[in-house]
Structure 1
C-alpha cells in the first residue's frame, strides 16, 4: 500500500568542496616546491654562466653584476609565489588539516542523524504496510475485500451522519450481500445505527482509547487491523464512512455500488472510481416507483 523510497548515496556538496579544496592546496604546494627547486638551479646556472663561462662578464648595472639583478628579480617572484600559497590562500598545516577533518566528520554525523530521523518517521508506516501485506499474502482463505456503498451522481453518501434517501431495494441488497459477514466501518458510521445489525460481525475503526461498544463488536485503530480481524471471513465488507472508503479503495478487490441518479447536498462523499483501475462487470437499472423516489442502478466493479 505504501511504496519504499530508495535512497541513492551521495557526497554532500560541502564535503565535496572541502575535498576539492584540499586537492587544490596540495597542487599549489607542489608547484611552489618545483618553483623553489628551479630557482636554486637557475640561480646556480646564472652564477656559473657569468663567472665560469664568462657570459655577460662585462655587463653591469650600477656597478653590480647583471646576474645578481636576475637572481633578485627571480627571488621576488618566488617570494610572491610563497606569499600567495601560505598567506593569500591560507596555509595548509597540520592544524588546518585537522580542522578540515573535524568539519568532514561533523558534516557526516549530521547527515547520518538526518537519515535516522527520516527513517524513524517512515518506519511506523512502512512496518504497518508490511504487516498488512504479509497477512494478505499468507491468507489461505482467499478473502475478497468488498466495498459496498450507495452514492449519488455527485458521489454524495450522507449528511449529518445520516442517509440522504430511503431505497428499500438498496437496503434489501445490502442485507442480502453482507449477511453472515464481517462489516468494517468507522466509528461515526457505527454510531448512526440504532443498534448493531443482526447476523453480522461489526468491526469498528476508531482512534478513541477505551471506546465502549456492545458485546461482540470488535474495536480496532486502523483499517489494516480491521482487515486482520476479518481474515477468517471469505468476503468482509467495507461499509463507510468517507475516509474509510478512501483508504479501502487502494486495497479492495470489489465494489458493490448503488448509484442514485440525482445529485444531493452532503458532507460525506465517496471517492471517484478510476475506470483505469476498476472494471464494470454488472449494471442493473431501476426506475422510480411507489417505494423509490429516485432512479438508481446496482453496479458491480472488480479491480483490473
Structure 2
C-alpha cells in the first residue's frame, strides 16, 4: 500500500487553457489595483510637496499649479490601464482572437459546403441531360426503323378490355384491324397473345414477356422489352402495336401514328388506353359509323399522327 503512487489528476487541454486565462486576468487586475494605490499615494505626495513643502511653488502652467497637470496626466494613464484591462483585453485578447478565428473558419466552411452543393447539383443536371439525350437518341433510332403505329379500339372512357377479353364485337372494326395489319409485324404483350385462340394468319407476332423461358409456337418472336420488340421489326416498314394497356402506355413515346376505333359509349373495364395528348398528336382522319343490326354501338375510325 506504501508503494502505490498517487494518481495525478488529468486536466484536459480546454480546462488548462481556462486556468491559464484566469491566472492572467488575476495578474492584470492585481497590477491595476497596485497602480490605483500608487496613483492615490502619488497624488497626495504631489499635493503635499507643492502646498506644504513649497516644492515648485512658483512654477505654474497656464496660471495653474504644476501638480494639477501631473495628477491629470497620471489619471489619464490610470484610466487607460483600466480600459486596457476591462475593455481592450476582453475584446482584443486571445479569447477574442480565437472567437473571431472560429467565426471566419465557420463562414469559410459554409462557403465550401455551398460550393460543394452547387457542384453536386451541376453534376446531377449534367447526368440528367445526358440521360435525356440518350433516351431521345434511342427513341429517334427506334423511330427511324419503321413507321410504328398503335392500333386500338377504345370506349369514350378509354376502356379497352375486361378480363383479358374485348368488351364489344364490332364487325367493321375487326375487318379494319385485319386489313391494316395484314402482312406486317404485330407487337403485343403476353396476355394479349394468350387471348387469341391461335396466332393470327399472315402476320408476324412479336410477344413481350418477362418470362425468360416462355414457350410459343414456331414463328412467334419472344422478346423481353419494347425496345427489343421494335428492333425485331426493323425490316417491316409498318409494324403495329396491338396491346395491352401497359404496352400501349410505353409505346406512346415511340409511335408515329395511332389508328383508333372510338366506341361512343362508356364501359366497365380493367384495362384502359392512355389519354391522347392534343399537344403531341393531331387528328388527320375521322369516319363515323352509326349503330346498325351488325353493330350495337356507334363508333368512329380516327387517325392521329404525331405533330
Q: What is the TM-score with the length of structure 2 in the denominator?
A: 0.65
Q: What is the aligned partner in structure 2 of residue 246 from structure 1?
A: 249
Distance 1:91 1:126, change over 3 A: closer
Equivalent of 2:195 in 188, 192, 196: 192
Q: What is the aligned partner in structure 1 of residue 141 from structure 2?
A: 135
Distance 1:131 1:211, change over 3 A: farther
Q: What is the aligned partner in structure 1 of residue 272 from structure 2?
A: 269
Distance 1:247 1:144, change over 3 A: same
Larger Rg: 2
How many angstroms does 1:135 deviate by? 2.3
How many residues get paired? Answer: 243
Assess if the C-alpha contact under 8 Å between 1:59 and 1:65 holds in 2. no
Assess if the C-alpha contact under 8 Å between 2:142 and 2:254 holds in 1. no
Aligned equivalents of 2:148, 2:97: Cα separation in 1: 74
With 226-235 and 107-116 compared, the bigger mean Cα shift is at 107-116
Aligned equivalents of 2:114, 2:238: Cα separation in 1: 54
Aligned equivalents of 2:131, 2:197: Cα separation in 1: 35
After superposition, the C-alpha distances for 1:246-302 in whole angstroms (9 at most, x for unaligned) are: 222223111111111221111111112223332222222222233222222211111
After superposition, the C-alpha distances for 1:132-156 in whole angstroms (9 at most, x for unaligned) are: 235237x4x6x21111001111111
Assess if the C-alpha contact under 8 Å between 1:135 and 1:228 holds in 2. no
Segments of structure 1 that go 5 or more residues without pairing to the other structure are 1-53
How many angstroms does 1:131 deviate by? 5.9
Equivalent of 2:74 in 65, 82, 97: 65
Q: What is the aligned partner in structure 2 of residue 85 from structure 1?
A: 96
Aligned equivalents of 1:274, 1:104: Cα separation in 2: 45
Aligned equivalents of 2:109, 2:285: Cα separation in 1: 69
Aligned equivalents of 1:147, 1:114: Cα separation in 2: 39
Aligned equivalents of 1:131, 1:289: Cα separation in 2: 47
How many angstroms does 1:159 deviate by? 0.1
Aligned equivalents of 2:165, 2:135: Cα separation in 1: 32
Aligned equivalents of 1:208, 1:168: Cα separation in 2: 34
Cα-Cα RMSD:
3.7
Aligned equivalents of 2:177, 2:290: Cα separation in 1: 19
Q: What is the TM-score with the length of structure 1 in the denominator?
A: 0.66
Aligned equivalents of 2:84, 2:77: Cα separation in 1: 10
Q: What is the aligned partner in structure 2 of residue 174 from structure 1?
A: 177
Aligned equivalents of 2:142, 2:72: Cα separation in 1: 101
Assess if the C-alpha contact under 8 Å between 2:208 and 2:229 holds in 1. yes
Give the alignment of 1:48-63 within 5 angstroms.
58-59=67-68
Segments of structure 2 that go 5 or more residues without pairing to the other structure are 1-60
Distance 1:213 1:63, change over 3 A: same
Distance 1:106 1:81, change over 3 A: closer
Q: What is the aligned partner in structure 1 of residue 207 from structure 2?
A: 204
SS of equivalent to 2:166: coil
